[in-house]
Amino acid sequence: MIQRRSMLRRCIVLLLLAPSFAGAQQNAPETSLSAQREATEAQDTARLAALVDDREALQEALKTARERQTTENERRDALEARQTEQRKRLDELAAKRDALGDNDQDGVDVQAVAAVLDRHVGELRDELADSWLTLGELALPARGSPEAPLTPQRLEKVADALMALTRESGRIEHLTTPVADAEGQVTDQEVVRLGDMAAFSNNHWLRQGKGDMPPAVIEHTPTAAQENLKAFASEEGEGLLLDPTRGKVLDALAQHPSLLERFHQGGAVGYVVVALGALGLLVALIQYGYLLSVTARLRRQLKHLDRLRHDNPLGRILAKFQAVRQGLASEALEARLDEALLAEQPRLERGQALVKLLAAIAPLLGLLGTVTGMIVTFQAITVFGTGDPQLMAGGISQALVTTVLGLITAVPLLFAHTALTSRSRRLIGVLEGQASAVLAEHLEAQPMAVDNRHGVEHASPLA
């Protein structure tokens, strides 16, 4: 009997000291298992010896262990009672389900109907996961439990949800909901939902978000579509343009870059080409404006040749001729006139060489940009392979933009060069004709002298 009590005391003490053993293992993770075991045994032995010597402490430890055992037994009884009650309720539900199936007068399996209903409700929720009908507070039919019986209340809830979905699919709803802009910032915006077909906000079409993501503004809404949406939102438009493909056309328009985006795709070479083209056109416009002003002053001078003006080439040439015509031979006068014409010609032909040079350089720079773009494209193919044709098509498209810019720049420069050349040649022709006419009139007005040795008449140099 004494040995049994001693063994019982040892078991109780070891039970009470089990947490201390676990704590010793946690507090000394760096020691070996054997060292931990020896230290724990020594500590338990010392504590056991203290408890054996102290009868009151032993009784207190035994009382605490019994109270703990009583608490755990009560908890176990409560869990067993709860389990028994749940099993009983499950049996009652199964019996009720079987009773509903057995009492069906038409021979229809109610559980089969419930299974079909649950399957269709699940498919409907999956199909409407990315629908515009979920934008707002509209509740979808709840998924049913396989063990839940088919009741009239459940059928009414499903029918009411389906009727609400049908009704909302034909309504235009104004609501406020979070929307992600083109930069990814999510803010509360006023959204117009067009049933289950589309939605727009601030005159921009929206794209339905995936999962829990909010709807987002598409990258590019055409200007005509924005005006149409604005008129529809203000109740001024007669109709609304919709995408019958449920977003595919809008995605295609979003991928189609605008003219400005195309220009930026040309890169540094494209910027240089456009800058040189703008410089050439500016020079051409300035020179053409100068030639137009010269033409107007020249016409005014032709009407009044008796009053020479120095604001036009013809007036300056004739004034110089009048200053040197006295006392010079005909060959010298002709040389002076040629000199005056050559002095006026650079002003009339100014800028033509630069415009012609830029018209020739622009396509070459565009070809340079295309070659460099193709090199970048082939480098990308080397790294990523040819598995993505869209990657190659995009790179080639961007490479060809510089060629397009070069051709677009060269064509107007060629027209400008042709216009400048024809205008300047016309003016030079008028100047040469007037100079020749003045020289002829001057020579005809001179007295004729006869050379007795050769019998040749010539104009006297003396006036």
Task: Look at the block and give the residue holding tokens 């006297």.
Answer: 460
Name the β-bridge partners of 458: 449
Local confidence pLDDT in tens for the 463 residues of the chain: 444 445 445 555 444 444 444 444 444 444 567 788 788 888 877 777 776 666 777 777 778 888 888 999 999 999 999 999 988 888 887 777 666 555 554 445 666 777 777 777 777 777 777 777 777 666 666 666 666 666 777 777 778 877 887 887 777 878 888 888 766 778 888 888 887 777 888 877 787 777 677 788 877 777 777 777 777 777 776 677 776 666 677 666 666 666 777 777 788 888 999 999 999 999 999 999 999 998 888 888 888 877 888 888 888 888 887 777 666 677 777 788 888 888 888 888 899 999 999 999 999 998 988 888 888 777 777 776 666 666 666 667 777 888 999 999 999 999 999 999 999 999 888 888 888 888 787 777 765 544 443 444 444 332 3
pLDDT of residue 389: 64
109-141: per-residue pLDDT in tens?
666 777 777 777 777 777 777 777 777 666 666
Kindly report the backbone phi and psi dihedral angles of residue 114, in degrees, each rounded to the nearest multiple of 5, phi listed first.
-65, -40
Buried b (16+ CB within 10 A) or exposed e, 340-378: beeebbeebbbbbebbbebbebbbebbebbbeebeeebe
d(CA 225, CA 240): 9
Return the pLDDT at 280. Answer: 93
pLDDT value at residue 265: 76
Q: For tokens 């480098």, name the residue.
A: 379
Q: 198 has which bridge partners?
A: 194
State the pairing for strand pair 448-451/216-217: unpaired
How big is the chain by its Cα radius of gyration, in Å? Answer: 51
Cα 93 to Cα 21: distance, rounded to the nearest angstrom:
49
